[in-house]
């Protein structure tokens, strides 16, 4: 029973729990057994929470018996370890927070629990969500369930691996430049980043505050819609949370794309992909057309500057946000002769190389004499990238493009930092523009030198606040193309 149950979608698991066919406690026990059996080789979780999960499951069962209709009743949940869950270790994959216990719960996590989800554990990630392979975690290695010699993607790699390996039905991730969409593509999942500000960042440990956005990683589009419906909406605890009504996404799932114009980004196609994925994407675009969409050419001329823009803005915000880790109030402290030496040694010992690189580049970009040339210039480029999308959306309802430039790669393959940064080439422009975007599985490709075909993701992107349309269309594509 266990394996059948766990391979179901979150929607189906919740349905079975609501009907009384199985209990949340049974789903939780089955999941904990699965984690015990599988996670030794996968490494999705940094912390597994059996007692907490059982307590939450018992509460869900009580609520179901009491007549509550919970949309995510008993759904096993993996929480990226940069989100607070009261009373649990929350590390951000960093030595500086290795033993830190969150004193409160993030709004997004609390809303998932309120909807009936059961937190199974805290999932590994690149340190402070900085990376595209999960290799930057200081606390553990996460492997791609489709090929253990390859990375799961990042930074939400643990959440992706957990869901792909049936160690959870929904993973919560955060996406700053592609950290939900890229691991979803690498692990054959749907990964959804809503409009900036749609889901509260309260309790999400900040990396780049103007870009960070929480979203789900799931095995179906419907599951992402259910998770979004549970989490989206204004939160007074986040000053950038948007106070605007949210359309229910789960009721907007479509079976065709008739009447929709989908923009194909010609600038992107001229870009040399890391591997020969062009045939896969051309086939995906034709599938969109077969479902009734009208394909139109659109141009995003400034998008090619996305990576350069992002690697000034995100590190600048990171250098500011991570200043709080100074050994005074929480986390690691390494003593020094005076307070300054204490700061410097604490941060030297607590942060890994990628975090240090980004703090340095961000500090440089914000420093006197360089601020206008780097930071302000990047903010202006950000304006142009946003305008590109505004112009494109005058001609189309949605944009379709690659989610990544290659399939999941082997450990150590991107040791040069800039080659890792380029992983986010196709996802960064949407992040800079704050747009809702998702990755949905669209095919398989055997990487050069590899023997196992690995999953590839199609990215769909919508105008601000058009999550319902975006998920609805993705559902039509998924239904038509997934066996």
- Greatest Cα-to-Cα distance within the chain, rounded to the nearest angstrom: 70
Query: Which is closer to another protein, CB of 20 or CB of 87?
Result: 87
Contacts of 147 by beta carbon, 8 Å cutoff, 6+ apart: 408, 450, 452, 454
* Total residues at interface with another protein (CB under 8 A): 73
- Contact in structure between 80 and 162 (CB atoms under 8 Å): no
> What is the contact mask toward another protein in residues 296 to 335, using x (rule: CB under 8 A)?
------x--x-xxx-xx------x---x--xxxxxxxx-x
Query: Which is closer to another protein, CB of 76 or CB of 306?
Result: 306
Residue 95 is among the residues annotated as catalytic for this protein: no
Q: Please tell me what DSSP assigns to residue 318.
A: H
Query: What CA–CA distance (Å, rounded) separates 86 from 105?
Result: 5
> At how many degrees (to 10) do helices 221-231 and 467-481 cross?
160
Residue 419 is among the residues annotated as catalytic for this protein: no
Query: What CA–CA distance (Å, rounded) separates 370 from 316?
Result: 12
DSSP calls for 437-470: EEEEEEEEE--TT-SS-EEEEEEEE-STT-HHHH
Nearest approach in angstroms of CB 180 to another protein is: 17
Selected binder of another protein within 5, 113, 242, 401 (CB under 8 A): 242
Distance of CA 459 to the CA centre of its chain: 13
Question: Which of 9, 132, 133, 155 is flagged as catalytic?
Answer: 155
Neighbours of 270 (CB within 10 A): 8
Query: Which is closer to another protein, CB of 40 or CB of 369?
Result: 369
- Contact in structure between 225 and 67 (CB atoms under 8 Å): no
The footprint of another protein on residues 414-453 (CB under 8 A) is 417-418, 421, 432-434
Nearest approach in angstroms of CB 483 to another protein is: 38
Contacts of 409 by beta carbon, 8 Å cutoff, 6+ apart: 133, 150, 151, 447
The footprint of another protein on residues 333-372 (CB under 8 A) is 333, 335-345, 347-348, 351, 353, 356-357, 359-361, 363-364, 367, 369-370
Query: Which is closer to another protein, CB of 94 or CB of 319?
Result: 319
- E strand residue ranges, 180-313: 190-193, 213-218, 261-265, 294-298
Question: Which of 80, 122, 193, 414 is flagged as catalytic?
Answer: 80
> What is the contact mask toward another protein in residues 179 to 198, using x (rule: CB under 8 A)?
----------------xxx-
Nearest approach in angstroms of CB 408 to another protein is: 24
Question: Which of 159, 179, 405, 431 is flagged as catalytic?
Answer: 179
For residue 121, give the H/E element and its range. strand 118-123
Query: Which is closer to another protein, CB of 100 or CB of 128?
Result: 100
Query: Which is closer to another protein, CB of 37 or CB of 373?
Result: 373
Query: What CA–CA distance (Å, rounded) separates 26 from 4?
Result: 13
Nearest approach in angstroms of CB 223 to another protein is: 26
For residue 369, CA distances in Å to 24, 78, 314, 317, 373 come to 58, 44, 19, 18, 8
Nearest approach in angstroms of CB 451 to another protein is: 33
Nearest approach in angstroms of CB 128 to another protein is: 14
> What is the contact mask toward another protein in residues 462 to 481, using x (rule: CB under 8 A)?
--x-----------------
Enumerate the active-site residues. 80, 155, 179
């Amino acid at each position: 029973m266990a394996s059948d149950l766990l391979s179901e979608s979150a929607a189906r698991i919740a349905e079975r729990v609501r009907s009384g066919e199985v209990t949340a406690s049974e789903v939780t026990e089955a999941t904990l057994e699965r984690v015990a059996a599988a996670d030794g080789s996968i490494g999705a979780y940094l912390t597994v929470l059996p007692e907490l999960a059982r307590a939450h499951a018992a509460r869900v069962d009580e609520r179901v018996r009491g007549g509550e209709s919970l949309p995510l009743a008993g759904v096993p949940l993996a929480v990226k370890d940069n989100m607070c869950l009261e009373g649990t270790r929350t590390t951000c994959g960093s030595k500086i927070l290795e033993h830190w216990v969150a004193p409160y719960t993030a709004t997004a996590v609390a809303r998932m629990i309120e909807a009936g989800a059961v937190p199974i554990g805290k999932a590994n990630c690149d340190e402070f969500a900085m990376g595209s392979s999960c290799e930057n975690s200081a606390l553990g290695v996460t492997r791609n369930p489709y090929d253990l010699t390859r990375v799961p993607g990042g930074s939400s790699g643990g959440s992706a691996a957990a869901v792909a390996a049936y160690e959870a039905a929904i993973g919560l991730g955060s996406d700053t430049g592609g950290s939900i969409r890229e691991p979803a593509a690498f692990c054959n999942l749907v990964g959804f980043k809503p409009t900036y500000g749609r889901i509260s960042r309260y309790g999400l440990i900040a990396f780049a505050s103007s870009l960070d956005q929480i979203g789900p990683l799931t095995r179906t589009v419907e599951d992402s819609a259910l998770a979004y419906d549970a989490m989206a909406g204004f939160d007074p605890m986040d000053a950038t949370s948007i106070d605007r009504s949210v359309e229910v996404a789960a009721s907007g799932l479509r079976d065709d794309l008739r009447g929709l114009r989908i923009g194909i980004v010609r600038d992107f196609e001229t870009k040399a992909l890391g591997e020969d994925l062009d045939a896969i994407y051309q086939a995906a675009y034709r599938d969109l057309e077969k479902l009734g969409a009208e394909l139109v050419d659109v141009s995003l001329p400034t998008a090619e500057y996305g990576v350069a823009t992002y690697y000034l803005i995100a590190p600048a915000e990171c250098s500011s946000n991570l200043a709080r880790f100074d050994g005074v109030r929480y986390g690691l402290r390494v003593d020094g002769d005076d307070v300054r030496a204490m700061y410097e040694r604490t941060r030297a010992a607590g942060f890994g190389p990628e975090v240090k690189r980004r703090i340095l580049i961000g500090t440089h970009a914000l420093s006197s004499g360089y601020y206008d040339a780097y930071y302000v210039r990047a903010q202006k480029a950000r304006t142009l990238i946003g305008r590109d999308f505004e112009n494109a959306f005058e001609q189309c309802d949605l944009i379709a493009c690659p989610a990544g430039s290659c399939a999941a790669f082997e450990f150590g393959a991107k040791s040069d930092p800039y080659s890792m940064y380029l992983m986010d080439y196709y996802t960064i422009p949407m992040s800079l523009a704050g747009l809702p975007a998702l990755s949905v599985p669209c095919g398989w490709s055997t990487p050069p030198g590899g023997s196992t075909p690995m999953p590839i993701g199609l990215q769909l992107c919508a105008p601000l606040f058009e999550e319902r349309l975006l998920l609805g269309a993705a559902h039509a594509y998924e239904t038509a193309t997934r066996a």
